[in-house]
Amino acid sequence: MAKKKKTVKKVAKKKTEEAKKVRLDPDYVLAQLKEDRDTMCKQAKRMTALEERLNKLITALQTPKTLKGI
């Protein structure tokens, strides 16, 4: 059992070292940043669309007309 734990620890240590190398790789970091930017843009577009729909709903509710403009 003791030997098995050592090998597991060695494997875990090796994997963490590889992960550190990958994280410090500038191409990898750049790719991650681009991916994050794209997702942020998509979220912002969704938010603006929701905001416009909410504004339409608010104006429709404030006017005494029926809710035809939604």
Q: What is the pLDDT of residues 16-42, one digit of tens each?
A: 777 777 767 788 888 888 999 999 999
What is the value of pTM for the model shown? 0.49
pLDDT at residue 66 above 70? no
Higher pLDDT: 51 or 21? It is 51
Rounded to whole angstroms, the Cα distance separating 15 from 13 reads 5
- Residues 1-40 as b/e (b if ≥16 CB within 10 A, e otherwise) read eeeeeeeeeeeeeeeeeeeeeeeeeeeeeeeeeeeeeeee
Distance spanning both ends of the chain, measured CA to CA = 69
Q: Residues 46, 47, 50, CA angle at the centre, nearest 5°?
A: 85
